[in-house]
Structures are given as structure tokens and as C-alpha cells.
Chain A
Amino acid sequence: MEQQQEVATRPIMTPNDPKDAAVLCRGITKSYGSGETQVKALRGVDLEVRPGELLMLVGPSGCGKTTLISVVAGILDQDEGECLLFGQNLSLLPQHERVRYRGEHIGFVFQAFNLIPSLTAAENAAIPLLINGIPMDEAVQKAALLLASVGLEGREHALPSQLSGGQQQRVAVARALVHSPRLVVCDEPTSALDQVTGIRVMEGLKKLAVNNDRALVIVTHDARIFSFADRIAHMNDGAIERIENNL
């Protein structure tokens, strides 16, 4: 409760030092393919996301939202421009360190949940901890705690197939947060869910994810959840057209 209050009233300000930004992108371009069939997905994107902020990325289909968060999260290389995460330029790191950085500092939520069917809810939620070398028992215990706080107490041992869509996405939210990442990226986290369920997932996300040291970037089409954003960045045709504060 207290935390939510704090988030809602916190002033949105531009930090003076770019090193303070959670995400700082300058002039990002990215094309797919080459020659005649080349698609310019990003045409010079500037974006800054601050710690403690929930930024939504909206825009028409095909405008490059997914491409942009893929670059931001360090799973796709941009063609030009640079992108800093908490002052760190991932594209300058050797491959294995970049992978490790993702494992430690980034949480993911996908539209298609992407839970592993043969693992229980708790085991699924524990995966980022396992990737970081935490022993199974400890990881599963910690994951179970987080599941409880997204309202899935008692469902730790359920398989994904035994959970509803909303429950599965809440498992995915727990998975995105279990290792306390500094950046959480979500691609259409609610578009596979109905309105009520989508809002419950967002509530869980906002309650647990937002804190002073962490930034959230959520790609969405879903106008029903815009109210959860601190700022909304509107994208069109590979560029950010405007950013509005959502106070």
C-alpha cells in the first residue's frame, strides 16, 4: 500500500547524469533482411527510461515495438546507435558476459506466457534463480513465496496446463521478478487475457515490480491497462513520436 502511494506521487524528473538512467537509447536503427525486401524496423529511436518508472510502449502493429524492447533487453543487436542499461553498454561486452548480465538484471514477461509444460508453477518461476546458479530447493522455495504474493498460494505444484491463462501469466510475472532484476520487459503481457484477468495481472505486476531501483518497459496494444503507466511512449513506423506523462 505504502509503496503504491509512493509510486503514484513520485515526481517524474529527468536525471542530469545519463548514468542514472535505467535505459538510455540514442539513435537506434535496426533493419531486417537486405536489398529489396529490407524492412526498416527502427529508424533512429531515442528513449530514456528512469529507475522506478513504468513506461508503456504503444503503437500500431509492425511499428517496431518488439524490435525495440529486444534491443533494449540485449537479445537483439541494433545496426546503429547505442543503448545503455544502467550506464552499461551491453553491445561492448563479450557475448558470455552479456548473457550473464541478462540473467542477473533483466526479467521477461511474454505474450505467450512461455511456461515449460513439464515444470510446476514454482519450478517455472524459479528458472531465473537456477540460471544464476541458486540450488533447486532454495530457488523453488523463493519462487513459491513470490507466487503467493501474486495470489497463487497453494498452486505451487500445479502444472501450467492445470492453470488458467491469467494464473499462468501471474506465474510468468513471478518468474520475471524472482531474481530481483533491475529492468523488466514485457511484450503484450495482457493481450492473451480477458479484461478482468489482464487488470489483475497488471495489478500484480505494478504492486511487486515497481520500486525505486527498477524500471519496467511494457509493450502493449491494450488501452485498458494504460492507466498503470507512468509514461506512455507512442511509436510509429520505427520511431518514437511522442511521450506523454500519465499522472
Chain B
Amino acid sequence: MNRIALKMLFGDRGKYLGIITGITLASILMIQQPGMLVSIFTMTYSFITDVSLPNIWVMDAKVQQIDDSKPLLDTQLYRVRGVRGVEWAVPLYKGSQKVRLSNGETVMSNLLGLDDATLIGGPAVMIKGKLSDLRIPDSVIVDEAGANGRLAKPAAAPGEHATPLKVGDVLELNEKRALVVGIARAQKTFQSQPIIYTTYTRAKVYANSERKMLTYILVKAKDNEPRETIARRITQNTRLAAWTAEEFKKKSLNYMIYNTSIIINFGFVVLVGFVIGAAVTGQMFYNFTLDNLRYFAVFKAMGTTDQTLRRMILLQALLVGFVGYGIGAGAIALFAMIMGNSNGPSVNLSWQLLLTSGCAILLIVLMSALVCIRKVLKLEAAVVFKG
């Protein structure tokens, strides 16, 4: 009877496609939105992830999240280096600076000044050039997205395309010359500003107007103690905030969650997806069952057990659930692949997300099936003789 159940379902092409479409749309909303949210969340701390070598971040006590900038005096660096348990500590400048393009437009860019000696905090992946080329005078490294995007050389004439920034090109950074010696790949950040890497000393020159330059002190903790212990000791001794990389990520993320309505906005869409999915597909599936009620009565009269009837309806519901969810998840995967290459937030398709949304769809189809099963089981077989 299972095959009969499926043939009944496929036989009603209009309803079948309608139900599938409903589930597909619900799946899309329920996967895409949280996927994007997760992607945005990871972007909020992607810079912390990028800077992998140090494991404690030291900053002004008022800093809330990675994009805050409350610089310290250079002398703080020496105080941190003096704390027990600190293996090494290097400075990092992070701030927004203006790049003027050849057509006069200015582009705000994220300037990173790396410790001159170690270049710690530099990009993990170099596409063109070497990180050590930053030792060349006036040199900078630009991130790939920025080089191809906002920092690309503007078209010479209208109608032509902008040309991506190449090694050897010269930028005007705060009215000073900056020679591009490399192109790097960085994780996407939330601000999606171009990233320009240079040395700490040179960053001071580029950002001439700023008195305090030390945005972060990057610390490598010794291994013989828990990092958290060392971070707390730094705070005690210097009155600066010190967080392990994990803590700092969490802090940045929490800032995002509690200081914006992003969760509520995304959550609302997900809820709408679920409710619409449940309402629309439930309704359509119920209608499908009602249309076939007469035949279910015939099956009943002819000796189909309740258990078989239950199984038939469940099978129909699970099938539309699987197909609809499959199409939805597939569409999202395609979307994520396409968006993955672009600049904005992408969709983060984790197995947890797929599992959760899959369960939500399962819940929808099971609920629909349950209602229909009740209806069919309550049906009097004797109605088969009615005209």
C-alpha cells in the first residue's frame, strides 16, 4: 500500500507541487536567514580569528568589541611585557584611514600597523608578494577584496571598467605615498572596508593626527599556566582589559547580539518561515487528504488496518518534506557558493543549522500528517456506500 500512497500523491500533480513549493520556501527562509546570521556573527570577530599566533588581547578597559578603537600609550606595551606569564607582547594599530583614489574619491580603509620586527597580526594567506616585503620603504599590503573592489583604479573614461590594484601600484594614504607590495586574503569583516597592512612605525606616519596609536597589545602567554589566569593577571597589574582570543570573540559577539536588534530581526523571519511553512503546507496537505477521503474510506471498508492508513499518510507527508527540504537546502547551498565569492555576508551552512531546520520541517510535516491521520481514522467506513 506504500506505493499506492505515493501514486495517489504524485497523481495529484497540482497539490503535490504546491506542497513541495511551500516546504521549499519554508526551508529556504529557515536555512538562509540563520545561515546569514551566523556568517555575520563570525565576521564580527573574523579579525580575531585571522590573528592566530597571539592568544591574549590587551586593550583599553572601555573597549566593547573588536571594531572599537580606544588607543593606549606606547608605554603600556612595556608594562604588559613585564607581567609574569607573558612570553612576548607586540603592538598592533587598527584604525580607519582615508585613501584617495585617482578620481578624487576617498575610501575609508582599515589600516593595520603590525609590529615592525615580527609582523605579527599579518594576513595568513598572501596571494601576491610576501609579508616580509613590508620592510620595503613606504610599502603596504592590500587585501584581495579591497584590491579588486573599492580600492581598484577607477575607470579612466566612462564606460570602462575599474582595474584591480596590482603589486607596484601606488596609493595615496592620508596624503602620503603607499606602495603596494602584496595582495593578501583576509577573512571577511563586518565593515567590509578594504584592509591595508603596514608596519606599526609606518602606520604612525600614515595616521599622523593621532596621539595614541596603540590599539591592541597582542600577547603570547606561556604554556605553563591557563591563559585566562595570565589574562586576569595582566588586568590586575596594568588596569587594562585583557582577554583570551576566545573571550574576546565572545565579547564582540555578545556586543553584536545585545546592542543591535539583529537577532530579533532574523529570528522574526525564521519564525515567519516556520509559521507560513506550517500553515501553508499543513493546509494544502490537509486539503489533499480531504480530496482523497473517499478513497481512504474505500481502503478502510476493504480491510486496510489503521496502522497501514497511518503509514500511508506518514509516508506521503515525509516524502513531500524530504523533497521540499532537499530542494530548499540545495538552493541555499548554491546561493552560498555564489555569495561565498563576493564581498558581503555569505551563508554559513553548518550541519547544526541543516539539522535544526530539517527538524523544523520534519515537525511541520509530522504535525500535518497527524491532523490528517486523525481525520482519516475517525472516518466511518460506512460512508463508502453513500452516493
Contact = CB atoms under 8 A, between A and B. Distances in A.
A40 to B, nearest CB: 17
B298 A123 contact: no
Contacts of A100: 303, 305
A101 B381 CA distance: 14
Contact of B387 (A75, A103, A111, A127): A111
Contact of A70 (B4, B7, B385): B385
Interface stretch (A128-136, A163-171, A205-213, A235-243): A128-136
Interface in B349-387: 380-382, 384-387
B308 interface: yes
Interface in B290-339: 294-295, 298-308
A136 B1 CA distance: 8
A208 to B, nearest CB: 18
Contacts of B302: 102-103, 106, 108, 127-128, 131
B3 A136 contact: yes
B304 A73 contact: no
B11 interface: yes
Interface in A97-141: 99-104, 106, 108, 110-112, 114, 116-119, 123, 127-128, 130-132, 136
Nearest to B304: A131
A180 interface: no
B8 A118 contact: yes
15 contacts: A66-B385, A96-B305, A96-B306, A99-B306, A103-B305, A111-B387, A114-B294, A116-B295, A117-B11, A118-B12, A119-B8, A123-B7, A127-B299, A128-B303, A136-B3
Nearest to A102: B303
B294 A118 contact: no
Interface of A: 66, 69-70, 73, 75-76, 96, 99-104, 106, 108, 110-112, 114, 116-119, 123, 127-128, 130-132, 136, 187
Given A66-B385, A75-B381, A75-B384, A103 B303 contact: yes
Contacts of A136: 3
B310 to A, nearest CB: 12
A127 B7 CA distance: 13
Nearest to A69: B385
A103 B304 contact: yes
Interface residues of B, number: 28
Contacts, number: 83
A118 B10 contact: yes
A117 B294 CA distance: 12
A109 B374 CA distance: 26
Nearest to B301: A75
A66 B10 CA distance: 33
A104 B305 contact: no
Interface string B1-23: 10110011011100000000000
B384 to A, nearest CB: 6
B299 to A, nearest CB: 7
Contacts of B298: 108, 110, 114, 116
Contacts of B10: 118
Question: What are the 6 closest A-B residue pairs judged by CB atoms, nearest first?
Answer: A118-B11, A103-B303, A102-B303, A75-B381, A76-B382, A70-B382
Nearest to A132: B303
A72 to B, nearest CB: 11
Nearest to A159: B11
A106 B295 contact: no
